[in-house]
Amino acid sequence: MSDRPSKITRLSTELANQIAAGEVVERPASVVKELVENAIDAGARRIAVAVELGGKRLIRVEDDGEGMTAEEAALALERHATSKIRRLEDLAAISTLGFRGEALPSIASVSNLLLRTRPRGADRGVEIRVSAGVTTAPREVGASEGTTIEVIDLFCNVPARRKFLKSDGAETTQISRLMTQLALGYPEVGFTLASGSRRLLQCPSATELDERLFQLYKSRDHLVEVQKTAAGVSVRGFAAGLAGQGHGPVRGPQNLFVNGRAVKDRTIAHAITHAYSAATIKERSPEVHLFFELPPDRVDVNVHPAKAEVRFLEPSLVHEVLRRALGDALADSPAPEVALEAAPTRAPGPPAEAAPGPWTQ
């Protein structure tokens, strides 16, 4: 037996949170994403976001969702505390955007955070502050129904992270892009984004996806409707058509949602490229806004630290449904000069399975 002191010690909660924050919170836009997704999960109909200095000085997200009691608000700031799952099996039936119970404690560990909330139907709200890792006891305050979270001086205690941030303008652009994407995913929710005194986005609650598309992007004449359901996988949305586009489809943003979650996905990207290359000779990044719905047990959402990717149980099925959906939509778009059959009928071959990222085992 050696009497050497143990080389292993337990990290303090604060340090553990800061390390977790390294994965969850890369930049101001990641904070906005987590807070807005929480507001969506809370059933908000209206979400107002304000930032200052690219979100480095201030990020405020205000919602009119279900709010939290004093007890819930205190728990929400603790690591691994969530109202969204209770058992591992719940992940296979997940319908919320959050599930880890990590976002709020991670954000609070690298900023000064203020949480003010009032549950629907309650006559008072509570406020909690976290500063330099110290959390105050909930204090009763007057507040409107819903939740407001302010994140002040992000990365004030992590100079290494702060150094890697881009200019205020560039960080604001990222936030603006992210908000545009979230707003597209949830047309029924009203969104606003302000940077200082500038209003960057204003989308009143809409009834249809194409109304929201118009609010966000104005012209959408070049888009054709996409709609297909097969073998339990449904895809709907809009994609750049071929009509009158002498130079191929209009390039633009590629917004992809799987069960309401904005994702990047190689299977989907491959199917898009394939569908368009069958119809035009130009290799481009066509504008698409596509919404996939499939049973939650056929998609694993727990594969990426920022929840920005998912893994399909049957990637080749998703590939095929999308390829056909786009094929039909593009064939319907009145572009008689483009003969779909004229393209080489090379078998698509299922896309290579996404290589495991560094975070997967």
Ligand X SMILES: Nc1ncnc2c1ncn2[C@@H]1O[C@H](COP(=O)(O)OP(=O)(O)OP(=O)(O)O)[C@@H](O)[C@H]1O
**Residue 267 CB, nearest distance to ligand X (Å)?**
23
138 binds, among ligand X, Mg ion, none (CB under 5 to 8 A by kind): none
Bridge-partner residues for 237, per DSSP?
226, 290
Measured from the CB atom, the residue of 45 and 84 that comes closer to ligand X is 84
Strand bridging mode 46-52 / 139-141: unpaired
CA 184 to chain centre: 11
- The nearer residue to ligand X, 138 or 315, going by C-beta atoms, is 138
Q: How far is CA 26 from CA 23, 142, 232, 264, 287, in A?
A: 7, 33, 35, 17, 27
- List the interface residues with Mg ion, window 133-172 (CB under 5 A): none
CB of 112 to Mg ion, least distance (A): 19
- From Mg ion, ligand X, none, interface partner of 215 (C-beta below 5 to 8 A by class): none
What is the number of the residue whose Cβ is closest to ligand X? 98
- For residues 185 and 47, what is the distance between their CA atoms, to the nearest angstrom? 13
Nearer to ligand X, 76 or 242 (CB): 76
Separation of CA 288 from chain center: 17
Closest CA to 92 of 259, 300, 359: 300
CA 162, 111, 60, 305: dihedral to nearest 10 degrees? 70
Closer CB to ligand X, 68 or 178, in the complex: 68
Taking each continuous run of H as one helix and of E as one strand, the counts in the chain are: 9, 16
82 binds, among Mg ion, ligand X, none (CB under 5 to 8 A by kind): ligand X
Which residue is it, tokens 């191929």?
A: 248
How many residues bind to Mg ion according to rule CB under 5 A?
A: 3
Q: Within the chain, where are the H helices?
A: 13-24, 28-41, 70-76, 103-109, 159-163, 168-185, 209-217, 266-279, 315-332
* Residue 102: CB minimum distance to Mg ion, A: 8
Which residues touch 71 (CB under 8 Å, ≥6 apart)? none
Looking at the Cβ atoms of 40 and 318, the one nearer to ligand X is 40
* Footprint of Mg ion on 19-58 (CB under 5 A): 38
User: Residue 276 in contact with residue 284, Cβ under 8 Å?
Assistant: yes
Q: How far is the CB of 84 from ligand X (least distance, A)?
A: 4
Q: Which is nearer to ligand X, 85 or 330 (CB)?
A: 85
Considering only 54, 65, 98, 125, the residue that binds Mg ion (CB under 5 A) is: 98
**Contacted entry of Mg ion, ligand X, none for residue 65, CB cut-off 5 to 8 Å set by kind:** ligand X
Q: Which does 76 bind (CB under 5 to 8 A by kind): Mg ion, ligand X, none?
A: ligand X
Rounded to a whole number of angstroms, the minimum distance from the CB of residue 126 to Mg ion is 19
d(CA 327, CA 332): 9
**Contact residues for ligand X (CB under 6 A)?**
34, 38-39, 42, 63, 65-68, 76, 81-84, 98-104, 147
Number of other CB atoms surrounding residue 232 within 10 Å: 12
Between 65 and 187, CB nearer to ligand X: 65
Residues of this chain that bind Mg ion (CB under 5 A): 38, 98, 103
